[in-house]
Chains A and B, each alone.
Chain A
Amino acid sequence: MGRYLLRRLLINIPVLISVTIIIFTLTELAPGDVTDFFINPELEMTPADMEQLRIRLGLDAPAPVRYLRWLNQVLHGNLGYRFKNGDDVAWIIGRRLQATLILIGAALLFGTLLGIALGVFTALRQYSLWDFTLTGLSFVGISMPAFISGIFGLYFFSVRLKLFPSGGMWTIGQGRSVGDLLYHLVLPAGTLSLAYIATYMRYTRFSMLEVIRQDYITTARAKGLPEHIVILRHALRNAILPVVTIIGLSIPNLVVGAVFIETIYSWPGMGSLYLDAVLSRDYPLIMGINLVSAVVILTANLLTDIFYSVVDPRIRYDEESSRG
């Protein structure tokens, strides 16, 4: 197990480096660099000014040199500074990551709890009216992209019913309270969780149906154990394994995956930050976000594997195809 983990860990390093090289190359190939972003097309600026700016930002060096400079800086624990406004990249990412984690964390938590509960519920009532309705709705949930659910949510619950604020994370001038945060969180997290609820419900239902047919469940029932104990202790515990993998697979979307919801609800998270970085060619920030997100994703994959192997000792480590 130790060797397996070490190997998994080491394999991540070339993956990480290739990802950063790819992203760097992409930003290189893009038309225009950050100096072009600084020109206000409606004001005058001379080529000499632009050249001066380019030198100051270190853009005059050839691309491989700049990549190595960046890598060196990162190895020394510094993600650099934003071109756009001189912000410390690590600092701004930390700050935005917090907002995104709150948003996605809430959506994921809500999605997981409700999704698993509904999954169990529908599995126990297979082919009932409830089952058909909820399964049908879960398809709607899966087919509904965040930008549509977000727009609908904004239109109905904020614009029409005026139940929730239309965006932002805090109400200004009221100090920061958990209540206020929750008030701002409901709509974005709610609309974002729809897809999670639907996905987890489907997987839980499928998995529960599999488990319920197993002999040991019949045995447990035959022993005269109360039905809720059979379901919760025996069935759910086993049925939940594949669901954990699926939750692990949701992690890649954690870092910048909420870009639509963040854009629609002006949530100050990583998704909107990334969009801004891309549109302004702010490559220290683009690279920084990609690096952080790659690290988060790879770590999450590893943790999912470990978790999975702990709860399911049948996993063998000689095949490297154990990822879900």
Chain B
Amino acid sequence: MMIKRMSLWQWVASLVMLSMILVACAPATPAAPIAAPTPTEKPAVEEKPAAPTEKGGGVLIGAFDIGPGGCPQCIPYFATAGHTWLMKIWTPLVSWNADVSGLAPQLATKWESNEDATVWTFHLREGVKWHDGEPFTAEDVKFTLELAWHPDSGARITPAAKELVGWEAYSKGEADEISGVKVLDKLTVQFELTQSDPRFPYQMVGAYILPKHALKDLKPADMQTTDWWWTNPIGTGPFKFSKYEKDQFMELAPNPDYWNGKPKLEKLVNRYFADETAAVLALESGDIDFTYVSGDVALRLQEDPKYQIFSGPSFVTNYLIFNYRNPVFQDKRVRQAFLYAVDREAITKEVLKGTAMVVPCIAPDPNMWPKEYNKYPYDPAKAKQLLDEAGWDYNYEFEAWTYYTSQFHKDALQAIQAYLADVGVKMTPRFMDVPAYNAEFYTGKGWDVSYRGLGVNVGNYPWNFYLSDGFPGAEGGSLSGYKNPDFDAMLKKAQAEIDPDAYLQDLREICRFQNEEALEGYMWTSIRFGAASNKVKDFYWFPAPGGGPYEDHPERWCVEK
């Protein structure tokens, strides 16, 4: 069962940005950039290795992880980002498809569930070999999950793990296997869940499969500290590990046995940069061929024919969350006034230079929006009127917390602050670092408003942020202090919905409710960018949520010499 493929590109295309987005690959390689995958797709054996006359191969150097990169952050299950790179060495059962609108088969070619979505069966790809030549089997899947989701491993335990039958006993040390993960035969693995989860395969997107034969003696507690990851890692991905230099780069060589065809590149290098600035300069000096870039840089580079720009939605919505424990925010008119007071269109257009799009609710994906909703156009007079009606105290001062440090968000929050000041609302931004923010924000106490981001897509809806009892750690059991049994019922209905179309309809209803209530101050979702040199052909990049792996066909990438 798969969620119907939804063309996110339709809305991206509608943006002003379009002109800069689709920079076609050179005509020399006529193949379509990314073919829509079908679950039964066979390894592309008919695609011949590069003919000697054709300029193929080359070395592609990219900044695939910005910020202090490299190992041990190169370890699957520990890395919080960097999936674009992890996918080159390791492969999960399923990944996102190219535009992150649905799932694409990877090591699993097909998957299906029983009636009530409590048992999921994955059929694995035939003939896949590990980089050292050993065959890949269902045993590797079970081994991997029991290693990574072992309580001693220290890896982030994904929601998928907790849904598995037997995981609780396993995590307490009462069982030495996760009984809900069953190897039916060499190429079939089955997952039994404690509750219905119609979207379980989405939870498996980041679960890279590791080789049992190479790691069977590894103690789970050593998973994060073993140097195997950067000395001799073995995967099933299109590229094999070849060299790693701490703080500098990791180099990969093509895997001739890759199930989707031998990669054309001779080498693929991930170079680490301290920040975007350094990476962009390296791109401009020709040291590297690809990096993520901010909207500013993308706008500048698109004028230069030397570069191709890639873009897509960030799947992160920026919004002001109100603390309902503070009575002043319980009045709907106050919350709506905030939306009327801020010229969100002007901010996205002028400050964010069209690299963001105004949203009606927490969902950043227009597929999840209802047809009709309140747009809350910029109207300071109306804002003032609503504030007056609600009896707003114009001497009341409060802070807006944020953990953002990028120029983009600093500008955005200062703009919001200035617009609110224009209607007499006194809000002071407070810029915190991530640990300080998390330590206080999640208690639900001490803050009034926070400017933050939340990742939302069809596969992962942040139910716990909205359910009245979704946040047991915070005061009163919910994050914002908002409690509404009707809204809870809407959320629970969607959560349990098995039919994809009905599920989407439920999400739209939720969106309509959030929009009308101005449950939160919904601002915008940003578009993220990557830039590659034009020497790179058939390259593909997409800003996946949380860096989750997606289908990018690296075996087709090549660099003109």
Decide if A and B touch, CB cutoff 8 A: yes
Instruction: Give the B-binding residues of A (Cβ under 8 A).
Output: 30-34, 36-37, 39-44, 46-47, 49-50, 52-53, 56, 81, 85-87, 95, 158, 165-168, 170-173, 266, 268, 272, 276, 279-281
Q: B400 at interface (Cβ–Cβ under 8 A)?
A: no
**CB atoms of A33 and B453 under 8 A apart:** no
Alpha-carbon distance between A209 and B505 when the two chains are bound, in angstroms:
86
Give me 25 A-to-B residue pairs in the complex whose CB atoms sit less than 8 angstroms apart, sorted by A's number: A31-B440, A32-B433, A32-B436, A32-B437, A36-B434, A36-B435, A41-B453, A42-B546, A44-B462, A47-B442, A49-B157, A50-B473, A53-B154, A85-B73, A87-B72, A166-B278, A167-B277, A167-B278, A168-B282, A172-B269, A173-B269, A173-B287, A266-B273, A266-B275, A279-B435
**CB atoms of A56 and B438 under 8 A apart:** no
Residues of B within 8 A of A53 (CB): 154
Alpha-carbon distance between A281 and B282 when the two chains are bound, in angstroms:
30
**CB atoms of A39 and B438 under 8 A apart:** yes
> Considering residues A46, A56, A95, A172, which has the most beta carbons from chain B within 10 angstroms of its beta carbon?
A172
Say which residue of A37, A56, A172 sits within 8 Å of B154 (CB atoms): A56
* Contact A42-B274, Cβ < 8 Å, known A31-B435, A86-B72, A171-B287: no
Q: How far is the CB of B536 from chain A (nearest CB, A)?
A: 15
Chain B: interface residue total (CB-CB under 8 A):
53
* Contact A165-B281, Cβ < 8 Å, known A43-B455, A272-B274: yes
Residues of B within 8 A of A86 (CB): 72, 224-225
| Stretch of B95-103, B244-252, B370-378 on the interface side | B244-252
Residues of A within 8 A of B248 (CB): 170, 172
Alpha-carbon distance between A115 and B207 when the two chains are bound, in angstroms:
59
Task: Classify the interface of chain A: helix, strand, loop or mixed.
Answer: loop
Alpha-carbon distance between A87 and B247 when the two chains are bound, in angstroms:
12
Residues of A within 8 A of B154 (CB): 53, 56
**CB atoms of A268 and B439 under 8 A apart:** no
Mark contacts of B279-291 with chain A using CB atoms, 8 A cut-off: 1 yes-contact digit, 0 otherwise: 0011001011000
Q: B43 at interface (Cβ–Cβ under 8 A)?
A: no
**CB atoms of B277 and A81 under 8 A apart:** no
**CB atoms of A41 and B441 under 8 A apart:** yes
Say which residue of B78, B285, B436 sits within 8 Å of A30 (CB atoms): B436
Residues of B within 8 A of A37 (CB): 434-435, 438
**CB atoms of A43 and B546 under 8 A apart:** yes
Residues of A within 8 A of B437 (CB): 32, 36, 41
Given contacts A34-B435, A56-B154, 10 further A-B contacts (CB under 8 A): A32-B440, A36-B435, A36-B436, A41-B403, A42-B316, A47-B472, A50-B473, A172-B249, A266-B277, A276-B68
Residues of A within 8 A of B287 (CB): 171-173
Alpha-carbon distance between A63 and B285 when the two chains are bound, in angstroms:
49
Q: How far is the CB of A265 from chain B (nearest CB, A)?
A: 8
Q: B88 at interface (Cβ–Cβ under 8 A)?
A: no
Residues of B within 8 A of A49 (CB): 156-157
**CB atoms of B435 and A46 under 8 A apart:** no
**CB atoms of B462 and A46 under 8 A apart:** no
Residues of A within 8 A of B61 (CB): 172-173
Instruction: Give the A-binding residues of B (Cβ under 8 A).
Output: 59, 61, 68, 71-73, 78, 80, 151, 154, 156-157, 159, 224-225, 246-249, 269, 271, 273-275, 277-278, 281-282, 285, 287-288, 316, 403, 433-442, 452-455, 462, 464-465, 472-473, 546
**CB atoms of A168 and B247 under 8 A apart:** no
Alpha-carbon distance between A56 and B274 when the two chains are bound, in angstroms:
29
Q: Which residue of A lies closest to B316 (CB)?
A: A42
Alpha-carbon distance between A229 and B149 when the two chains are bound, in angstroms:
76
**CB atoms of A168 and B278 under 8 A apart:** yes
Q: Which residue of A lies closest to B281 (CB)?
A: A166
Q: Which residue of A lies closest to B159 (CB)?
A: A44
**CB atoms of A168 and B435 under 8 A apart:** no
Alpha-carbon distance between A43 and B438 when the two chains are bound, in angstroms:
12
Residues of B within 8 A of A39 (CB): 434, 438, 442
* Contact A85-B72, Cβ < 8 Å, known A43-B455, A44-B462, A167-B278: yes
* Contact A32-B439, Cβ < 8 Å, known A41-B403, A56-B154, A81-B225: yes
Q: Which residue of A lies closest to B439 (CB)?
A: A32
When A and B form their complex, which 7 residue pairs have the shortest distance between CB atoms, in order from nearest? A32-B439, A32-B435, A47-B473, A266-B274, A36-B438, A36-B435, A266-B278
> Considering residues A30, A41, A171, which has the most beta carbons from chain B within 10 angstroms of its beta carbon?
A41
Residues of B within 8 A of A166 (CB): 277-278, 281
Residues of A within 8 A of B275 (CB): 266
* Contact A268-B274, Cβ < 8 Å, known A86-B72, A172-B269: yes
Q: How far is the CB of A45 from chain B (nearest CB, A)?
A: 8
**CB atoms of B439 and A36 under 8 A apart:** yes
Q: Which residue of B lies closest to A282 (CB)?
A: B435
Residues of A within 8 A of B288 (CB): 172
Alpha-carbon distance between A66 and B483 when the two chains are bound, in angstroms:
40
Residues of B within 8 A of A85 (CB): 71-73, 78, 224
Q: Which residue of A lies closest to B454 (CB)?
A: A42
Residues of A within 8 A of B157 (CB): 49, 52
> Considering residues A30, A39, A87, A268, which has the most beta carbons from chain B within 10 angstroms of its beta carbon?
A39
Alpha-carbon distance between A280 and B438 when the two chains are bound, in angstroms:
12
* Contact A41-B247, Cβ < 8 Å, known A266-B273, A279-B433: no
Alpha-carbon distance between A85 and B73 when the two chains are bound, in angstroms:
6
Q: Which residue of B lies closest to A91 (CB)?
A: B246
Residues of A within 8 A of B274 (CB): 167-168, 266, 268, 272
Residues of B within 8 A of A172 (CB): 61, 248-249, 269, 271, 282, 287-288
Alpha-carbon distance between A266 and B462 when the two chains are bound, in angstroms:
36
